[in-house]
Structure 1
Amino acid sequence: MSTDLDVLVPAWLTLPDLAERLDADISRVRGLVRDRVVVGVKRGERTTFQVPEAFLVPDEDGGEQVLPTLRGTVVVLGDQGLTDEEILVWLFTPEDALGVAPVEALRAGRRAEVRRIAQALPY
């Protein structure tokens, strides 16, 4: 894995950690990965599959949920030919047109802007 991600992504969650944070069982969390609701990479000392913690946002019940606009953005980026690692790098690299990293713009509700830029990527 690129060291860029270690610099770009401040905090990571393993699938068991993600399951705990979402108050879900591990099979549901594996389904989120399979269905591209979240993306991650194998990393760390034991090369465990991990996802960025920034993909979680508060839900209406005081718990946490996966950022609702993430999946559609991941699909757009995948359709552009990006690998999961490249998707993560793009999401966490500050984008001049947004003034922030795309993941921060998604968290701020700027889905349309992020996807418009993602669709214009030269991949």
Structure 2
Amino acid sequence: METTWLTLPDLVEVLDEPLGRVRRLLDEKHLVASRRTGKLAVPEVFILDGHPLSSLRGTAIVLHDAGFTDDETIDWLLEHDESIGMPPIEALRQGRKSEVRRVAQTLA
């Protein structure tokens, strides 16, 4: 799945939060970032209506508990998953949190 990547300055603007708060959102796994584009950045699809997608944090924690790195977590969320029928992030955006987490728990 293609997505736009938001750097920290972009996130400050999109979320209308100071940089310190944006960093705390990353530290607390409300958002998951990668340096694959050179600078620390978050996929835009992780933001919904100017806020971090609420179901992202618990899902990211499940994946990290299964041994996933931040990059692996982002890849899994963005790639099509056969058992879900779409990329997991799209299912989360549709409110299908339980289904996505059930699948994520099988990855451990």
SS at match of 2:40: strand
Unaligned 5+ runs, structure 2: none
Q: Deviations over 1:3-53 (max 9, x none)?
A: xxxxx4421000110111011000000001111111111133xx2100000
Q: 1:115 aligns with which of 94, 101, 104?
A: 101
Per the alignment, residue 51 of structure 1 pairs with 42
3-state DSSP class of the match of 1:48? coil
Report if the CA contact (8 A) 1:38-1:55 is conserved. Answer: yes
Residues 35-82 of structure 1 show CA distances to partners (whole Å, capped at 9, x for unaligned) of 1111111133xx210000001111xxxxx1110000000000000000
Q: Which amino acid aligns with 2:25?
A: L
- The one-character-per-residue Cα deviations of 1:94-118 (angstroms, maximum 9, x if unpaired) are 0111110000000000000000000
Distance in 1, matches of 2:77 and 2:104, equals 9
Residues 1:102 and 2:94 are matched in the alignment: no
92, 104, 107: which is aligned to 2:78? Answer: 92
What is the number of equivalent residue pairs in this alignment?
A: 108
Could you say which residue in structure 2 is the equivalent of 1:38?
31
* 2:22 partner amino acid: V
> Which of these two proteins has the greater Rg computed from alpha carbons?
1
CA–CA distance in structure 2, aligned partners of residues 17 and 43 of structure 1? 16
- Show the counterpart of 1:18: 11
Is the contact made by 1:9 and 1:52 (CA closer than 8 Å) also made in structure 2?
Answer: no
Quick check: which one's strand share is greater?
1
Q: 2:80 is paired with a residue of what secondary structure? A: coil
Tell me which residue corresponds to 1:67.
53
Q: Normalising by structure 1, report the TM-score.
A: 0.85
